[in-house]
Amino acid sequence: MLRFSLLSANEIEFMEKMYEAAVLDPLTRIYNRRYFFGLLHQYIEKNMRAKQRLALIIIDIDHFKILNDTYGHQVGDFALRHVSSLICLTVRAGDKVCRFGGEEFTILLNEVDLPEATSIAERIRATVEDNPLLYEGAVIPMTVSIGVATLDHAFGSPDRLFALADARMYEAKNAGRNQVCNGPVALPR
Q: What is the pLDDT of residue 17?
A: 74
Domain boundaries, the chain: 29-181
**Arithmetic mean of pLDDT over the chain:** 91
d(CA 161, CA 139): 36
| Parts of the chain with a pLDDT under 50 | 1-2
Interstrand relation of 144-150 and 138-140 (parallel, antiparallel or unpaired):
unpaired
Q: What is the pLDDT of residue 78?
A: 97
d(CA 134, CA 123): 20
Q: What is the pLDDT of residue 150?
A: 95
Q: What is the pLDDT of residue 3?
A: 55
From its phi and psi, is residue 83 left (phi > 0), alpha (psi between -120 and 50) or beta?
A: alpha
Of 45, 103, 116, 171, catalytic: 103
129 is catalytic: no
Q: What is the pLDDT of residue 142?
A: 98
Q: What is the pLDDT of residue 170?
A: 96
Structural class in CATH, domain 29-181 = alpha beta
Amino acid at 141: P
pLDDT digit string, tens, across residues 88-97: 999 999 999 9
Q: What is the pLDDT of residue 131?
A: 98
Show the beta-strand stretches assigned E in the chain: 54-61, 96-101, 104-110, 133-135, 138-140, 144-150, 180-181
Q: What is the pTM of this model?
A: 0.91
Q: What is the pLDDT of residue 1?
A: 46
